[in-house]
Amino acid sequence: MPSSLLWAVDVYGRVYSLSTAGQQWEHCRDAHLEFKRVTAVQQCCWSIACDHNIYLYVHASEVPIRYQEETYENQRWNPVDGFSDRLLPSDRWQWSDITGLKHQPLGDFQLPSENWEWEADWYIDENFGGEPTEKGGWTYAIDFPATYTKDKKWNSCVRRRRWIRYRRYKAQDTWVKIPSEQTESLPDPFNDITCGGWEITEEPRGCLALWAVSLQGKVRTQFVPDHFYCTFEQVWFRCDINHHNPEGSVWEEVPVPGEVVQISCGPGDLVWAVLWEGHLLVWFRRGVNSHNPCGSGWIGMVGEMVMINVGLSDQVWAIGFEDRAVYFRQGVTASELSGKAWKVVSVPRDSERSHSSASASSLQSAGCFFGGEVRLQSQASMLSDADAETERAGGEVVPTPEIGDAPKPRIPKVTSDSFISELVSDREGQISRRDVPPAGPSIPEEDHPEKELEDRASPAQVLSPSQSGGVDPQWSNVDLEEAQTHLTSGPGGDAAETSSLSSVATYNLALEEPYGLDEPPKWAWVSGGGCLVECHTQLNWFNSSTSTALNSSMQAMSLSITPAQTAAWRKQIFEQLSERSKREMENFMHYEQAIEQSVWVKKGTMQWWRDWKPHKWVDVQFALEQFSGVEGNKDGILFIYYTFNDEKKYLHMFINEVTILVPVLNDSKHTFAIYTAERTKQRWPMRLAAATELEMHDWLALLSVSCCDSRGIQGPPSKQAIWSVTCKGDIFVSEPTKELEASPYPTPCAQMFWRQVGGHLRIIESNSLGVVWGIGYDHTAWVHTGGYGGGFFQGLASSTDNIYTQTDVKSVYIYENQRWNPVTGYTNRGLPTDRYMWSNASGLKECTKNNTKPPSPNWTWVSDWTIDYAVPGGTDREGWQYAADFPASYHGNKTLKDFVRRRRWARKCKLTTTGPWQEVPPIPLSDITILPCGPKSTVEQVSLWAISNKGDILCRLGVTSLTPGSSSNYGSSWLHVGTDQPFKSISIGAVHQVWAIAKDGSAFYRGSVSAQNPAGDCWYHIPSPTGQKLKQVSVGRTSVYTVDENGNLWYRHGVTPSYPQGSSWEHISNNVRKVSVGPLDQVWVIADKVQGSHSLSCGTVCRRLGVLPMEPKGHSWDYGIGGGWDHITVRGNAMEAPRIVMPSLTDNQTATRPLQTSNQPEMNGNPVGC
Amino acid sequence: MADDKDVLRDVWFGRIPACFTLSPEETTEREAEPYYLLLPRVSYLTLVTDKVKKHFLRVMKTEDVEEMWFEYEGTPLKWHYPIGVLFDLHASNTALPWNVTVHFKNFPERDLLHCSSNSVIEAHFMSCIKEADALKHKSQVINDMQKKDHKQLWMGLQNDKFDQFWAMNRKLMEYPTEEGGFRYIPFRIYQTTSDRPFIQKLFRPVSPEGHTLTLGDLLKELFPAAICAEDEPKRFQVMIHGIEPLLETPIQWLSEHLSHPDNFLHISIIPAPSD
């Protein structure tokens, strides 16, 4: 899990953040001003400063926030000039938007705020619908508006071309003021702010909703589009805001029935507001869900808290009333939402200030918190401690005050009346310093709050005499008498009752003694909206002394404490043990063993899917006999005892013939499949079902160990290993032999032995230096730690260290189907012949919201059912897709011919498992490729390219393979490689030839990529095969293969070192889903519709036969394990077959090797420049 | 990078080459050849010497045979100590193979326990495991196991089945992560120089202050003489499985990885060789 941040403001207005991986509060040094509120989400943090402006802090990301501006240049042909910019009077503008309706000359484009910068100048987009255009990027048509083509025809009278320019958000990792262009329409400043709504239904993913409360208690909202999501058109249902910027643009007022003091919104649709009515302790609202958004009742909590905040995954954060400490509600889980106990977060801050400056700043912030007269307050503090505070107070944020106009005696009054005004929200509404000049109009206010105070008893309750007694003598410039009068005038009610009102809270605090060096920090506000804490993770925030023990327990599967592997004592034990073995055994191996090896049998009952018709599950006795073979290697036999026609029979299987054990968990049965080479050819495994999941895992682990023993395989996968992933996300690895790629008689790939490795992935890629990366279904990137086992492999089948918790999230989809009838329109009453009204994609299986379960018991629901708008083909605003009849091709808008419609519902589920994988935060990825290397090459820097799930192309820096294991394979950072459009597939070849497929299905070649210039310089657009949209690419040593969306496999012809782009595509095969080309140019695919002797399989691993250096296309397929396979990578297997001697080939590698390694020093300098 | 599990394997598959010779006091029909055998360090003498017995019985008359016992350089070897402990204690730093004398008469009743059958060894082994788990987990783990699980542990040892044994023993080695280790470490310290059979005390893997305790801490408390200052010559060797772990080795790690199958950490303290 990547670390995330908890944000908090202390009572002096300083903002701190605490990382889930860290152990101390980090002061946000950039903030030169005090803050009142923070509200955080994962990618950014919003705040209200004491100057009542909204500030935004966007975390720096390796993928920049970019927005593409575009405009069209239009021309018309005339006989004199040819095409020229002289258009007809009825024509569109010469420079316009895509519709031609809006005049858009290049010069009219302005940066939306000073936080943006232009990336480069305008340039012409030469890509037209995935195809490269002629030079100049012109597209032609008969007239505006019309269909444009890239070819000029005899009747082409008009033409246009697209100009694009990128702007980039530059204000990252810093607080920037949100310009409030609506000053005049905002009569009062903001008092509270909350951010959320990133999972609001009917909104595109990634947008945020920002809510704010003004001093007068009005609620405003602003929708903020996702700033990482910049290249696509977005439609807003509720607002017209269509700006792709992190700052948002317009505030909208939301009517509320009363006066709001605090507001909070969650990631979904819910917004809570506390109306000004009285008191609030800490309560937990019970039973809130989508059907009952108001919840069913309140549960009181022990402990008095000043404020609470609900973070991601329902974790609750609070600030204590007594001690101002940040509390974490322990034990909040899906089943026990109210949690178990409050736990105080006790970590030090990164630096403690000196006592004197702390007190000075406390004075300053004491004033700042109360709105009203900020300038005067900061002035006062600057006078008292000018040198220390000038820098902090200066700058654009707190404008230099007008000295002299500050009547000191009035300060406490200002303090108290703005305080009151925040509470009771003065109905005249003239408090805001924006609207009111500081000196003049504040005079009439002097009496006003006192009147208010007397009129309304409730706000005065806030301070008890006991608290006001502790006033510090340091308040020398504050009229204490005045303050005391105010404070004691209240009836001394329970301060806790109003303690949820944060403004009250801060006032209380201002009277307390400023803390010294060793006192714990006092907090005013906390925001956990960006802080993801999973139930199963342990935070090391709570007690520093035990933190090391907690850290080590993170390794859930570990048998041992596992301190640093490098500890001297451990090394010494390893060394001595091997010395001992040598001393005591080496010369005596001819001695007889004291204990003879014998047979060990494990038995159990299971169900077996009968091999013959009628196929059915039958109860069987199952036994595994293990014994030592003649040469001391272990072996075993599997027996299945069944009864047929009252006759006891059995069948058996030799363990050393088993090629793979595949778990097939579904909601009804705990089954697994056992394949041998023969059964792989038949496409007919032996299928067994255990009574419980645990039993199945026990058997699988035992059988797996037994199979590995019989083949002498143990320990972590080798660097050459071939990795594959099933459609269930299970990961398998196979150790290639030299004969696997032998020609002309390679080992049939049905004979490959696969063993499972813990974890859950969608994509996995490797190279022969042992660098292995994977991507989960939730687009999280993972790097292989060099371990093995995990998952259900416990104890001996798993490495003790290098195993970490892995989570994955995916969506389950069901379809709601409706048919039109003339009376009622679309209803859920279908024809008798129709599909189920709630069904799966094919319509053959009924899937209702209630009866649909997560894919297997390992998965749990983590969201509710929501309508999915991101369906291929598009939807209308309610998510419906229309068609003439079931099943047909669906489209997003209703036409007269449409009699049926459907919409897709999605629900997210989550898996938690373990495996030898370590997360690579923070950027979610959709594809990845690693430089394939020759058998013995020692490349120091391993090129690794990836595509983010937004389609950005990234190049990983600092990936090395000097030592096996995660630390060096992990790399250091991402380098963003600019593109004009989003991408979906990428592959790098052995000599750094990078190919990529854009989302529009066109291919690109990256020029000038080398070890010295890892990011290359520019993209070359390669036309796709006619009429096909490409889907995936894989580049081996020299071969380039692509797969298109219709399952065709294409080979790139004419690729030479001098012309690496090649000349044309040649069709190789159909029914191909994915291709992986290895460092020997071996071609492996995942194929569909593979016919076995017993059944047909989809998702089958196939290897191209007859691939030779002079014949890179091969001639036929060899079928391996399947179906149900989704991905394979053979890019680690650089093991040449023993018989083949190719001098030219070895020359090639020796030629490239010095090139890759010799110029290391330049590597780090270069990327910056590209 | 070596894995901690390799230590378990190394420990389990540790073998001592032994040369069994019949005591000259025994009456034989013809001269008895010595018998050479690789003994598992973690097993028990009487459990693995069936072949030795068979070998010598061939040259002896049945009436001359009583219970078999072993002796090394005059010291009767206690079968209820693991073989590795016996070797480390009495014969480390000597030339291999280990010369063990076999007796069939004059059973030293004062020194040795009788071992009439393997079930006696099994009972002893299981009682050790139970005692160890009482120390580690207040017997909770061993009591939660079924009879067949107990049998699996014993069969694993008897038949030298590492996987079979560890599939079950794994559970005995677990502990709540927040506690940082077992309740108490089951250990025994043996010495040749004392009449006491062994030292055994309650000892926690983590100090009250939360520090991880080491082998050095254990010895400091129970056998301070084994720890020598840097300048003085080493007086004692602290042996576990024939190796001398560094004193800073965490005692919990040792207990998990270098314990014998009976779940005890057997530590032999022997005088350092004077050479």
Contacts with B5 from chain A: Cβ below 8 Å: 559, 796, 799-800
Residue numbers of A between 1104 and 1123 with CB closer than 8 Å to B: none
Q: Assign A139 a pLDDT band (cuts: 50, 70, 90).
A: confident
Query: In this predicted model, which residue has the larger pLDDT, B143 or A454?
Result: B143
Instruction: Give the mean pLDDT of chain A.
Output: 70
Dump pLDDT digits (tens) for A1091-1136: 877 777 788 999 999 888 888 888 889 999 988 899 999 999 888 7
**Whose CA is closest to A593, among B15, B123, B116, B107?**
B15
Rounded-to-integer distance, Cα A223 and Cα A221, Å: 7
- B275 vs chain A: nearest CA distance in angstroms? 19
- Best mutation target among A570, A579, A802 (most B Cβ atoms within 10 Å) is A570
pLDDT for B209 beyond 70: yes
Give me the amino acid identity at A39.
T
Contacts with A559 from chain B: Cβ below 8 Å: 4-5, 170, 173-174, 256
Q: Please count the CA atoms within 13 angstroms of the CA of A593 that sit on its side-chain side.
A: 9
pLDDT for A99 beyond 60: yes
Residue A400, pLDDT score: 38
Put simply, the answer to whether B178 touches A553 (Cβ < 8 Å) is yes
- A979 vs chain B: nearest CA distance in angstroms? 42
Q: Determine the average pLDDT of the residues in A126-133.
A: 76
Dump pLDDT digits (tens) for A853-885: 888 888 889 888 888 888 887 888 888 888 888
Q: Does A580 touch chain B (CB under 8 A)?
A: yes
Put simply, the answer to whether A573 touches B39 (Cβ < 8 Å) is no
Residue A90, pLDDT score: 80
Q: Determine the average pLDDT of the residues in A176-186.
A: 59
Rounded-to-integer distance, Cα A231 and Cα A738, Å: 47
In this structure, of A347-356, A809-818, A1101-1110, the range with the lowest mean pLDDT score is: A347-356
Contacts with B178 from chain A: Cβ below 8 Å: 549-550, 553
Residue A216, pLDDT score: 60
Q: Determine the average pLDDT of the residues in B116-134.
A: 92
Q: In what order do the strands lie in the sheet with A26-27?
A: A26-27, A15-19, A5-10, A523-527
Query: In this predicted model, which residue has the larger pLDDT, A1027 or A1119?
Result: A1119
Q: Does A553 touch chain B (CB under 8 A)?
A: yes
Q: Determine the average pLDDT of the residues in B40-48.
A: 91
- B32 vs chain A: nearest CA distance in angstroms? 18
Q: Radius of gyration (Cα) for chain B, nearest Å?
A: 20
Put simply, the answer to whether B16 touches A584 (Cβ < 8 Å) is yes
Query: At A941, phi and psi to the nearest 5?
Result: -110, 120
Instruction: Give the mean pLDDT of chain B.
Output: 88
Q: How far is CA A999 from CA A126, A1018, A1128, in A?
A: 16, 18, 22
Put simply, the answer to whether A585 touches B38 (Cβ < 8 Å) is yes
Contacts with B180 from chain A: Cβ below 8 Å: 549, 561
Contacts with B216 from chain A: Cβ below 8 Å: none
Put simply, the answer to whether A573 touches B243 (Cβ < 8 Å) is yes
In this structure, of A469-473, A758-762, A961-965, B211-215, the range with the lowest mean pLDDT score is: A469-473
pTM of this prediction exceeds 0.90: no
Which of A722-726, A1057-1061, B107-111 has maximum average pLDDT?
A722-726
Contacts with A579 from chain B: Cβ below 8 Å: 243
Nearest CA in chain A to B179: A549
Residue A510, pLDDT score: 36
* Size of chain A, expressed as the number of residues it contains: 1170
Q: With contact defined as beta carbons under 8 Å apart, do A477 and A380 qualify? A: yes
Put simply, the answer to whether A595 touches B164 (Cβ < 8 Å) is no
Residue numbers of A between 776 and 815 with CB closer than 8 Å to B: 786, 794-796, 799-801
Q: Does A551 touch chain B (CB under 8 A)?
A: no
pLDDT for A196 beyond 60: yes
Put simply, the answer to whether B253 touches A560 (Cβ < 8 Å) is yes
pLDDT above 70 covers what percent of chain A?
Answer: 62
- A556 vs chain B: nearest CA distance in angstroms? 9
Residue A314, pLDDT score: 61
Q: Going by C-beta distance under 8 Å and a sequence separation of 6 or more, which residues neighbour residue A115? A: A169, A170, A171, A176, A247
Residue A763, pLDDT score: 94
Q: Assign A2 a pLDDT band (cuts: 50, 70, 90).
A: low
- B145 vs chain A: nearest CA distance in angstroms? 16
- Token pair 């398998």 in the structure block, residue: A732
- A524 vs chain B: nearest CA distance in angstroms? 32
Q: Assign A338 a pLDDT band (cuts: 50, 70, 90).
A: low
Rounded-to-integer distance, Cα A1107 and Cα A1114, Å: 4
Q: Assign A721 a pLDDT band (cuts: 50, 70, 90).
A: very high
Q: With contact defined as beta carbons under 8 Å apart, do A1010 and A992 qualify? A: yes
Q: Going by C-beta distance under 8 Å and a sequence separation of 6 or more, which residues neighbour residue A86? A: A76, A78
Q: Assign A403 a pLDDT band (cuts: 50, 70, 90).
A: very low
Dump pLDDT digits (tens) for A527-557: 776 666 655 555 666 654 333 333 333 333 3
- Compute the Cα dihedral for A669, A675, A679, A683 and give only its sign: positive
- Token pair 């016996």 in the structure block, residue: B86
pLDDT for A365 beyond 70: no
Q: How far is CA A466 from CA A45, A479, A490, A495, in A?
A: 36, 19, 12, 10
pLDDT for A508 beyond 50: no
In this structure, of A161-165, A324-328, B103-107, the range with the lowest mean pLDDT score is: A324-328
Q: Assign A475 a pLDDT band (cuts: 50, 70, 90).
A: very low
Rounded-to-integer distance, Cα A715 and Cα A707, Å: 13
- B107 vs chain A: nearest CA distance in angstroms? 23
Contacts with A577 from chain B: Cβ below 8 Å: 7, 10-11, 241, 243
In this structure, of A115-129, A1026-1040, B140-154, the range with the lowest mean pLDDT score is: A115-129
Dump pLDDT digits (tens) for A577-627: 888 888 888 888 888 887 776 677 788 899 999 888 888 899 999 888 887
Query: In this predicted model, which residue has the larger pLDDT, A15 or A1161?
Result: A15
Q: Determine the average pLDDT of the residues in B64-77.
A: 89
In this structure, of A542-556, A709-723, A753-767, the range with the lowest mean pLDDT score is: A542-556
At B121 the three-state DSSP class reads: helix
pLDDT for B220 beyond 50: yes
Q: Count CB atoms within 10 A of the CB of residue A283.
A: 13
Residue A1086, pLDDT score: 93
Rounded-to-integer distance, Cα A1158 and Cα A938, Å: 11
At B178 the three-state DSSP class reads: helix
The DSSP H or E segment spanning B150 is helix B147-158
- B243 vs chain A: nearest CA distance in angstroms? 6
- Best mutation target among A537, A540, A584 (most B Cβ atoms within 10 Å) is A584
At A1126 the three-state DSSP class reads: strand
pLDDT for A379 beyond 50: no
Put simply, the answer to whether A573 touches B43 (Cβ < 8 Å) is no
Dump pLDDT digits (tens) for B1-37: 457 778 888 899 899 999 999 988 888 888 888 999 9
Q: ipTM score here?
A: 0.91
- Token pair 């006092």 in the structure block, residue: A522
Q: Assign A227 a pLDDT band (cuts: 50, 70, 90).
A: very low
Residue A1035, pLDDT score: 93
Query: At A15, phi and psi to the nearest 5?
Result: -95, 130
Rounded-to-integer distance, Cα A957 and Cα A973, Å: 5
Tokens of B139: 């017997």
Q: Going by C-beta distance under 8 Å and a sequence separation of 6 or more, which residues neighbour residue A690? A: A604, A606, A607, A670, A671, A672, A696, A699
- Best mutation target among A587, A591, A592 (most B Cβ atoms within 10 Å) is A591
At A56 the three-state DSSP class reads: strand
Contacts with B166 from chain A: Cβ below 8 Å: 795-796
Contacts with A549 from chain B: Cβ below 8 Å: 177-178, 180, 210
Q: Does A694 touch chain B (CB under 8 A)?
A: no
Q: Assign A1034 a pLDDT band (cuts: 50, 70, 90).
A: very high
Q: Determine the average pLDDT of the residues in A6-19.
A: 79
Q: How far is CA B267 from CA A233, B83, B264, in A?
A: 73, 13, 9
Q: Determine the average pLDDT of the residues in A1051-1055.
A: 91
In this structure, of A455-464, A716-725, A1106-1115, the range with the lowest mean pLDDT score is: A455-464
Q: Going by C-beta distance under 8 Å and a sequence separation of 6 or more, which residues neighbour residue A261? A: A191, A192, A213, A217, A274, A275, A276, A423, A501
pLDDT for A851 beyond 50: yes
Q: Assign A995 a pLDDT band (cuts: 50, 70, 90).
A: very high
Q: Determine the average pLDDT of the residues in B118-138.
A: 93
Q: Count CB atoms within 10 A of the CB of residue B116.
A: 9
Cα A129 from chain centroid (whole Å):
29
Residue B133, pLDDT score: 94
Rounded-to-integer distance, Cα A529 and Cα A57, Å: 14
- Best mutation target among A537, A543, A544, A559 (most B Cβ atoms within 10 Å) is A559
**Whose CA is closest to A911, among A872, A854, A960, A951?**
A854
Chain A to chain B Cβ contacts (< 8 Å): 143
pLDDT for A522 beyond 80: no
In this structure, of A138-147, A284-293, A984-993, the range with the lowest mean pLDDT score is: A284-293
- B36 vs chain A: nearest CA distance in angstroms? 6
Query: In this predicted model, which residue has the larger pLDDT, A945 or A376?
Result: A945
pLDDT for A27 beyond 80: no
Percentage helix, strand, coil for chain A under 3-state DSSP, each rounded to 5: 15, 35, 50
Dump pLDDT digits (tens) for B238-258: 999 999 999 889 999 999 999
